[in-house]
Amino acid sequence: MTTEVEGRVVHGPKRPGVPALEARSLTKHFPVHNGLRRGSTQFVHAVESISLALPEGTVTAVVGESGSGKSTLARMLVQLIAPTSGELLLDGEPVGTSAKARRDYTSQVHLVLQDPFSSLNAVHTVRYHLERPLKLHRRPGSAEELDELAKSLLERVALSPADRYIDKYPHELSGGQRQRVAIARGLAVEPRVLLADEPVSMLDVSIRLGVLNLLDELRERERLAVLYVTHDIASARYLADTVVVMYAGQVVESGPALQITESPAHPYTQLLLSAAPDPQREGTVVLRGRGAPPSLIDPPSGCRFNTRCPFAMDICRSSTPPALPVGDDQVAACWLHSPDHKPEAPVAPAP
Amino acid sequence: MTPTTPTTPTTARPSAAASTVGAPVLEIRDLCVDYGLGPKAVRAITDACITLHRGEVLGLAGESGSGKSTLAYALTRLLRAPGVITDGEVLFHATGPDGAPAPMDLLAATPAELRRIRWSQLAVVFQSAMHALNPVARVDAQLTDALKAHRAGMTSAQRRERAVELLRMVGISEDRLRSYPHELSGGMRQRVMIAMALALEPQVVIMDEPTTALDVVTQREIIEELMLLKERLGFAIIFITHDLSLLIELADRIAIMYGGRIVEQADARQLFHAPRHPYSLGLLNSFPSLHGERVRMEGIPGSPPSLATLPSGCAFHPRCPYAMDRCREEVPVLMSPTGETGERTAACWLQDGRQEVPAPLALTASPAAAPTASTPTATLPAPQRPAGAAPSDGSPL
């Protein structure tokens, strides 16, 4: 779902009011140093001018292959990586750069990492992991209050009774329980925005849904704005209100989750959907657009997907397509949907 | 087996091109594997029975710790200490030097016998290509190594020719022959692994999560190629993965493992439309669908058991919504579910005919009852060149 502000297309669920977190034209170019050849620094164009709005009480999914820039985007949103250009707005206010502003920001926006086996410290108990952010950000008055707060966090992520878990070490917990502790630690600072970078991909299949349902409950109950970064479009469809598809550092399509999986408009989204495992599929898969994503040091001119796209036209190789409307709140950055460049064969309307 | 003259893959086994499922090629009977010895030993696999037929794709699905990789290592005798094979037999219908069948028990085979059939008749593709390929050896050296060991009659020029042919077979161009593994992408590395496994035209290829670390598009490409090669060369595959939704698409038959036991074995479509074991049902309900209404799914409550502290009776009973008293005490045996015959088996007391089977576990597998799938509808015109053709040469469409 999208809105257009000053010529920029802002991706993300459309809700009235000011979004909890907004990113404006975030761009990240990582420098690559060429050893001794000074002065010829190249750049990896990891994320190109992405604008995203995360209203409270919604889940936005960012879907893409490895190297598409989805994790870089999440890390910029949580200020672990400084963007090359672009700005962040928390509740409509630009985020300052002072130490205090940064500290306030970290208590509002929190990131849950992919691997709960390495994001928790093996030599510390669950209690330590939860009490540390509480001490730093909430400053409870007494030890009893601290203990109570830590236990209530565990209850909030459905690890109950909390007494059974609070003094355990990470190795005594299962993968799903560890990820719940990591989420509980994220909730300790009382964030408004929770960013989850592939939170279930390291977990066993049968417990993934439990963690996804937990994120959904947190969205509903605590009105969190959730960004769910994943490579699995089926789980994005399950959890998210809006799906944003990234390819080679750019957003190629975004729209309501069900709509985008029913009627994908961008050839890359179609490729991604046709490649996804689907037991209900009848017949064989026809993959359109083989090969691998391009190098981002010297990305293809025009549309970055043009080297793989079966529909590529001349214009795709020369100019970058703008985000064009293709349905209710759905946009696709593809020349095929532009009235001026429409191919001669008729384009079927989205069902 | 004495070295045979090198042949091209298409002429290697004239009968092998048949895509129909044939006679058994690998029979695993009552295989038990322990980790450790004595009273502290942990039983990783209990009484596994699987039969693999010629030209068949057998999927082995389960969560981490269910014993699926251990099974692969045990049957190829690659299991390292503290893993111990304590019981069972693995009958491999190998081909002798003269082409005549020469069945052998892999668990009783001597190291020399194993050397002869490994790679040439029974090959393995490991999960992590980055770790399975030698980082300091070029691709051609690794591809020709097995040829050198098994085909003493080949000259180095012939070996090189064969290496080029193998790479082409998996869709990699010849100029990659002198590359090191780190110069290849993840998908290409996995393709090299598959090419290596197929170098000597084995009858059975065991694939341990071959595509888990890859992106979906690359995964789909590799699986497509693999299925084409299987049709052409006629080998059988044991495909190990945790991704049941993928397995249903590509496997002929699926065995589901839980807590070191096979809990259900069935035809892939049957398993998808009509699972008979509550764990299979739970697993199927753990994969969100790409079609239809969005419904809340619950997955399976709890988490997979540790093999060291397996629950009594049926290992799944603490997570099972249908658990009965009997499930807590007696270990269910693999049996044909109520009212069914054939090769289909499930290890669940619900299916022993003494009580009514809960409706979700008693569905019929008839295609009419199956939900019809709607493939994602393309809103774009069809490409104006044959599907699968290389991207445009620059001419406008």
Which of A63, A201, A204 is most worth mutating to test chain B (most B CB atoms within 10 A of its CB)?
A204
Confidence of residue B391 (pLDDT cuts 50, 70, 90): very low
Dihedral angle computed from the Cα positions of residues B235, B241, B245 and B248, in that order, rounded to the nearest 10 degrees = 30
The model's pLDDT over B350-364, given as tens digits with 9 standing for 90+, comes to 988 888 888 888 887
Query: Cα–Cα–Cα angle for A81, A319, A13, nearest 5°?
Result: 50
pLDDT score of B389 more than 60: no
For range A50-58, the mean pLDDT: 94
Crossing angle of helices B156-169 and B139-150, rounded to 10°? 120
- Ranges A25-29, A219-223, B296-300: which has the least confidence: B296-300
For residue A8, list its beta bridge partners.
A5
Chain A residues with beta carbon closer than 8 angstroms to that of B226: none
The model's pLDDT over A14-45, given as tens digits with 9 standing for 90+, comes to 999 899 999 999 999 998 877 666 666 789 99
What pLDDT shows up at residue B362?
A: 83
The model's pLDDT over B178-194, given as tens digits with 9 standing for 90+, comes to 999 988 888 889 999 99
Do A207 and B300 make contact, defined as CB atoms within 8 angstroms? yes
Which of A202, A205, A259, A261 is most worth mutating to test chain B (most B CB atoms within 10 A of its CB)?
A205
Q: How far is residue A274's CA from residue A285's CA, in Å, rounded to a whole number?
A: 6
Q: Do the Cβ atoms of A324 and A338 come closer than 8 Å?
A: yes
Q: Do the Cβ atoms of B268 and B274 come closer than 8 Å?
A: no
What pLDDT shows up at residue A295?
A: 86
The model's pLDDT over B32-48, given as tens digits with 9 standing for 90+, comes to 999 988 888 899 999 99
User: Which residue in chain B has the smallest CA separation from A235?
Assistant: B288
Per-residue b or e along B270-300, where b marks 16 or more CB atoms closer than 10 Å to that residue's CB: bbbbbbbbbbbbbbbbbbbbbbeeeeeeebb
Starting from the edge strand earliest in sequence, which strands make up the sheet with A250-256, in order?
A109-112, A193-197, A225-230, A59-63, A242-247, A250-256, A330-332, A324-327
ipTM: 0.85
For range A201-230, the mean pLDDT: 91
pLDDT score of B113 more than 50: yes
Q: How far is residue B148's CA from residue B196's CA, in Å, rounded to a whole number?
A: 13
pLDDT score of B13 more than 70: no
Structure tokens at A113: 């990492």
Per-residue b or e along B256-269, where b marks 16 or more CB atoms closer than 10 Å to that residue's CB: bbbbbbbbbbbbbb
Confidence of residue B167 (pLDDT cuts 50, 70, 90): very high
In angstroms, the separation between the Cα of residue A294 and the nearest Cα of chain B is: 12
Confidence of residue A147 (pLDDT cuts 50, 70, 90): very high
Contact partners, residue A25, CB within 8 Å, separation at least 6: A8, A49, A50, A51, A85, A86, A87
- Cα A68 off chain centre by: 11
What pLDDT shows up at residue A247?
A: 94
Q: Do the Cβ atoms of B327 and B278 come closer than 8 Å?
A: no
Mean pLDDT of chain A: 88
Chain B residues with beta carbon closer than 8 angstroms to that of A159: none
What pLDDT shows up at residue B19?
A: 41
For range B133-145, the mean pLDDT: 92
pLDDT score of B90 more than 80: yes
Q: Is A49 on the interface with B (CB under 8 A)?
A: no
Nearest-CB residue to A271 (from B217, B289, B388) = B217
Q: Do the Cβ atoms of B235 and B226 come closer than 8 Å?
A: no
Half-sphere exposure for B29 (CA within 13 Å, toward CB): 9
Long-range contacts of A282-285 (CB under 8 A, 24+ apart): A282/B372, A282/B373, A282/B375, A285/B220, A285/B224
Q: How far is residue B264's CA from residue B258's CA, in Å, rounded to a whole number?
A: 9
What pLDDT shows up at residue B193?
A: 92
For range B120-137, the mean pLDDT: 86
What pLDDT shows up at residue B235?
A: 93
User: Does residue A176 or residue A212 have the better pLDDT?
Assistant: A212
User: Which residue in chain A has the smallest CA separation from B285?
Assistant: A206
The model's pLDDT over B315-336, given as tens digits with 9 standing for 90+, comes to 999 999 999 999 999 999 888 8
Do B224 and A270 make contact, defined as CB atoms within 8 angstroms? no
Q: Is A310 on the interface with B (CB under 8 A)?
A: yes
Confidence of residue B373 (pLDDT cuts 50, 70, 90): very low
What backbone torsions phi and psi does residue B292 show, to the nearest 5 degrees?
75, -170
Contact partners, residue B98, CB within 8 Å, separation at least 6: none
What pLDDT shows up at residue B396?
A: 35
Contact partners, residue A232, CB within 8 Å, separation at least 6: A63, A201, A276
Mean pLDDT of chain B: 83
What pLDDT shows up at residue A4?
A: 60
Q: Report the residue count for chain A.
A: 351
Do B286 and A346 make contact, defined as CB atoms within 8 angstroms? no
What pLDDT shows up at residue B215?
A: 87
Do A310 and B391 make contact, defined as CB atoms within 8 angstroms? yes
- Ranges A165-174, B98-107, B237-246: which has the least confidence: B98-107
Confidence of residue A139 (pLDDT cuts 50, 70, 90): confident
Q: Is A49 exposed, middle or buried (0-12, 13-18, 19+ CB in 10 A)?
A: middle
Do B286 and A208 make contact, defined as CB atoms within 8 angstroms? yes
In angstroms, the separation between the Cα of residue A292 and the nearest Cα of chain B is: 8
Chain A residues with beta carbon closer than 8 angstroms to that of B216: 65, 231, 233, 272, 275-277
pLDDT score of B12 more than 60: no
Which of A209, A268, A313 is most worth mutating to test chain B (most B CB atoms within 10 A of its CB)?
A209
For range B70-75, the mean pLDDT: 90
Do A343 and B397 make contact, defined as CB atoms within 8 angstroms? yes
For residue A332, list its beta bridge partners.
A253, A324
What pLDDT shows up at residue A2?
A: 57
For range A317-332, the mean pLDDT: 92
- Ranges A246-255, B94-103, B173-182, B374-383: which has the least confidence: B374-383
Highest mean pLDDT among A286-300, B12-26, B185-199: B185-199
For range B254-258, the mean pLDDT: 95
User: Does residue A299 or residue A3 have the better pLDDT?
Assistant: A299
For range B215-228, the mean pLDDT: 90
pLDDT score of B275 more than 80: yes
pLDDT score of B385 more than 80: no
Largest CA distance in chain B: 73
In angstroms, the separation between the Cα of residue A30 and the nearest Cα of chain B is: 21
pLDDT score of B369 more than 50: no
Helix (H) or strand (E) holding A272: helix A267-275
Confidence of residue B15 (pLDDT cuts 50, 70, 90): very low
pTM (two decimals): 0.85
Confidence of residue B393 (pLDDT cuts 50, 70, 90): very low
What pLDDT shows up at residue A63?
A: 95
pLDDT score of B367 more than 60: no
pLDDT score of B21 more than 80: no
Q: How far is residue A69's CA from residue A254's CA, in Å, rounded to a whole number?
A: 15
How far apart, in Å, are the Cα atoms of B207 and each of A14, B58, B198, B236, B252? 45, 10, 12, 11, 15
Confidence of residue B272 (pLDDT cuts 50, 70, 90): very high
In angstroms, the separation between the Cα of residue A103 and the nearest Cα of chain B is: 36
Contact partners, residue A212, CB within 8 Å, separation at least 6: A200, A235, A238, A239
pLDDT score of B264 more than 90: yes
Q: How far is residue A199's CA from residue A180's CA, in Å, rounded to a whole number?
A: 10
For range A276-293, the mean pLDDT: 82
- Position B279, amino acid: Y
Do A280 and B63 make contact, defined as CB atoms within 8 angstroms? no
Q: Do the Cβ atoms of A265 and A256 come closer than 8 Å?
A: no
Do B381 and A345 make contact, defined as CB atoms within 8 angstroms? yes
The model's pLDDT over A68-78, given as tens digits with 9 standing for 90+, comes to 999 999 999 99
- Ranges A253-262, A281-290, B70-79, B98-107: which has the least confidence: A281-290
